Amino acid sequence: MARQGRWTRWKDWQAGEKCAWPITQACAGRQTFLILSGMKITKYSISLLVISLLFAACGDSSSDPAGNGNGSAAAEPPAPADPVSVVDGVTVVEMTGNDRMKYNVDSFTVSAGSPVKVIFTNVGKMPKAAMGHNVVFLTADADANAFAAAATSAKDNDYIPEQLNDQILIATELLGPGEKDTIEFTAPDTPGEYAFICSFPAHLYAGMRGVMIVE
Ligand SMILES: [Cu+2]
């Protein structure tokens, strides 16, 4: 309430309560007080703003490890803090794809010939026909751009071009909103970089691509 009162007086003064000439000591003092009060309020507000921004920034970076809480206001649940883990010798990758055409994982590393499990979830809300997602792991010598270009004419086969089947290591199903698919496979014996892409039209160009590094 005190702030409200000061603020009101400050606004009153700004609105025209100015000292008549000659300026009396009391009037000048009151004006100085009002000006300083106003500055204090401004400084106080800026401090509050800065503090809340800091808290907001911290809040973003400290998402809960389980990745399934406090998402009520957000359009999508937060991605798991660490999507890659090794469980009983199996590299488990918890991948997501969203309505902004982004995976949560750019790359991950596995040992040659080791077991890999990819759990892929479409965390978006848009219909599958407009925003479906998959994860297609390609062979080391495959041309990801050429594969994606061919995929655009394979709508009837969920955007998997059958004539390029020999360039696919393994692929998930094409998923609609909220759907999940798990694939398990053995990493190639040959070390190298193996691209993975979403073959839905234009999604690779929007950034839905990454690399599985086999070493
Ligand atoms: Cu996609």
pLDDT tens for 150-193 read: 999 999 999 999 999 999 999 999 999 999 999 999 999 999 99
Measured in angstroms, how far is the CA atom of residue 134 from the centroid of ligand 1?
6
63/82 Cα distance (integer angstroms) = 11
Calculate what percentage of the chain has a pLDDT beyond 90: 62
Mean pLDDT of the chain: 78
Q: What is the pLDDT averaged over residues 53-80?
A: 46
Measured in angstroms, how far is the CA atom of residue 64 from the centroid of ligand 1?
26
Q: What is the pLDDT averaged over residues 199-214?
A: 98
Measured in angstroms, how far is the CA atom of residue 99 from the centroid of ligand 1?
8
Q: Decide: 180 and 119 in contact? Cβ < 8 Å.
A: yes
Measured in angstroms, how far is the CA atom of residue 201 from the centroid of ligand 1?
8
Measured in angstroms, how far is the CA atom of residue 179 from the centroid of ligand 1?
13
Distance of CA 122 to the CA centre of its chain: 13
Beta strands per DSSP E along the chain: 84-87, 90-97, 107-110, 115-122, 136-138, 168-171, 180-186, 192-197, 209-214
156/42 Cα distance (integer angstroms) = 62
Q: Decide: 103 and 210 in contact? Cβ < 8 Å.
A: yes
Measured in angstroms, how far is the CA atom of residue 137 from the centroid of ligand 1?
13
Measured between alpha carbons, how far is residue 160 from residues 129, 172, 198 in Å? 15, 10, 10
Q: What is the pLDDT averaged over residues 180-208?
A: 98
Tell me the fold of 84-214. Answer: Immunoglobulin-like (2.60.40)
User: Which residue ranges make up each domain of the chain?
Assistant: 2-61, 84-214
Whether the per-residue pLDDT at 118 is higher than 70: the answer is yes
Q: What is the pLDDT averaged over residues 125-149?
A: 97
